[in-house]
Amino acid sequence: MRDLADQPIGVFDSGIGGLSVLQALMAELPHERFVYVADSGHAPYGERGDAFVAERTHAIADYLVAHHHIKALVVACNTATAAAIHEARMRYPQMPLVGVEPALKPAVALSQTGRIGVIGTRGTLSSAKFAKLLDGLKGQAEFVIQPCKGLAHAIERSTGHPAANAAQQSEVHRLCQAYTEAMGPFGKGTGQIDSLVLGCTHYVFATDELRAILGPEIHFLSTGEPVSRQTRRLLETQGLLATTDQPNAARLTQLFTTGALIDLQTAALRWLHLPAQQCSKAEGLR
């Protein structure tokens, strides 16, 4: 069991958005090694069908098990969680497997106006999993749901590539403004939206733009910290926490991509302070 405990934890997303979850995981579990896959070569997931997303989820899970011998898997993508996590759990019944979901329950507890905004991809917000989550909170708050076509892709382009220019960043701002304006007034007054659930891991990297548009009083809720705490709980339950004397775990973390390597390298340095040599192309994963 101890040999298995010292194996890495797999994490994947359709692109760099899942780095926001990896960031929280590394803070919660500093002695663990991680293997991250950005499936940027097949992004965005949110605009694709469930069958495609499920196929990619299984391919990446199989790759992480076969090539990196992971002990646990974190699906750091709302769309992939909604489309494929049930099948992934059946495929790997012994493995701790954690998905992400929009933080609706924490938003209900936090909101004072009772009016909560939710932004996400079409794939996430139209899923049966999201509908069930929403139905379980019926009567507890009013949710304003806004699919944000193109936003995750715009964030991917503006955050990853070192040559990201003002026009690309402006596109992120434009989309954030258009989608939040379509949701209605934000604020602390009666009938206003006072909490915004970021229903895509990419959207964490647009927090500055959203804050500039919506102001300092609006609560933003993401999934990184709850996911990291749940991952710790599952590892503890199964006796799979890494030995505490493992040195420099962050330096042993590896990041892979099916897309442009320079995009992942730039994002990893910017958000996780990990050097370029810890990023590679995902050889063996198509």
DSSP H stretches of helix in the chain:
2-5, 19-28, 50-68, 78-91, 104-110, 122-125, 128-135, 151-160, 166-183, 207-214, 224-237, 249-252, 261-272
In the annotation, is 148 catalytic? no
CA distance 79 to 62: 18
Tokens 């596109």 -> residue: 171
CA distance 72 to 227: 13
- Exactly one of 148, 176, 200, 279 is catalytic; which is it? 200
DSSP bridge partners of 255: 36, 279
CA distance 102 to 124: 9
CB burial of residue 216 (10 Å; 0-12, 13-18, 19+): exposed
In the annotation, is 77 catalytic? yes
DSSP-derived secondary structure letter, 215: -
Span between the terminal Cα atoms of the chain, in Å:
32
- Exactly one of 77, 148, 176, 279 is catalytic; which is it? 77
Q: What residues are labeled active site?
A: 77, 200
